Structure 1
Amino acid sequence: MFTIQEIVRWWGLTVFEIWINLISLLIFTILLALKFDHNSEVSHYSWWTIFCPLFASDALNAYFCIIVFIRMHLENSLKAALQRLAWSWNFIFMICLFKFFLCKKLMGQLNLDYSEIFAPIYILLQLIAVRACQQT
């Protein structure tokens, strides 16, 4: 198993961002299970409503990244702040793009194969692999 320090270093996320993602994933999983339960009210909700906790976590993470960027900039570490901001925004953008494509596909509004929908995740995994090799 990986340690939390390795995950933080390789993914470029803080522990706070990881917790936000885990909590939103838990809420999303509960809503997803209720969506497939035909006896609940949630089964009539749209996919956008089910994916709402995941998009909210992306917004919170983006807000957190802006705060961290401002604080790092005020501490006169502009180069490190820009590198962290670029990585974080790239990470958030790729994850959000994947969720957007998946939600559109589930709603029937997008005619793409699943390999095309997962393309942002594949790109992100390659970037994480490069980052992991640079960190060791």
Structure 2
Amino acid sequence: MLFSSRELVQWLGFATFEMFLHLGALLVFSVLVVVKVDLPEQDLSWWGVFGPLFAADGLSTYFTTIVSIRLYQEGEKRLAVLRLIWIITVLSLKFVFEMLLCRKLVQQSSELWYGLIISPLFILLQFLMIRACRVN
């Protein structure tokens, strides 16, 4: 069962533009992972591979800030604050996951264990589950 874009906007809280931004970054990230793994002679660091994901997070934060400021100026203060808090929470949990994973890949002997790395995703899934129940 596929979801419509309207349902995804309601559940995730992202605008359609932001979703396409993150999907594009995920596509570029996937290509860079393949290049990094299959062509080891390339001088590509893991930080460079994760670069599109970090850039998408930054652009999404910028876009959300602009939208929240405009909503606040138009008198939708409650909606602006709730949207800003939700998106910043989602993006910060996603960013922490990406940062920890990249650090683990760079330092193979790192003391980070995978349960710690994936814990921001578990928290994010809990929040999304609560939001999905609240929306419907």
Q: TM-score, normalised to structure 1's length?
A: 0.94
- State the partner residue of 2:14: 13
Aligned length: 134
Aligned mates of 1:51, 1:5 — CA distance in 2: 29
1:95-110 equivalent positions in 2, closer than 5 A: 95-108=94-107, 110=110
Aligned mates of 1:123, 1:101 — CA distance in 2: 15
Give structure 1 stretches of 5+ with no counterpart: none
Aligned mates of 1:75, 1:45 — CA distance in 2: 46
Q: Secondary structure of the equivalent of 1:118?
A: helix
Matched, 1:27 2:28: yes
Name the stretch that deviates more: 100-109 or 51-60: 100-109
- State the partner residue of 1:113: 113
Alpha-carbon RMSD across the aligned residues, in angstroms, is 1.2
Name the stretch that deviates more: 32-41 or 72-81: 32-41
Aligned mates of 1:38, 1:129 — CA distance in 2: 39
Tell me which amino acid in the other structure corresponds to 1:30: V
Is the alpha carbon distance of 1:103 and 1:39 closer, same or farther for their aligned partners in structure 2, counting shifts above 3 Å? closer
- State the partner residue of 2:84: 85
Matched, 1:58 2:86: no
Aligned mates of 1:17, 1:38 — CA distance in 2: 31
Q: TM-score, normalised to structure 2's length?
A: 0.94
Deviation at 1:38, TM superposition (A): 2.6
8 Å CA contact 1:34–1:40 kept in 2: the answer is no
Aligned mates of 2:41, 2:4 — CA distance in 1: 39
Deviation at 1:4, TM superposition (A): 1.2
Aligned mates of 1:38, 1:14 — CA distance in 2: 36
Is the alpha carbon distance of 1:7 and 1:60 closer, same or farther for their aligned partners in structure 2, counting shifts above 3 Å? same
Deviation at 1:40, TM superposition (A): 5.3
Aligned mates of 1:75, 1:86 — CA distance in 2: 18
8 Å CA contact 1:98–1:121 kept in 2: the answer is yes
Deviation at 1:55, TM superposition (A): 0.1
Deviation at 1:70, TM superposition (A): 0.7
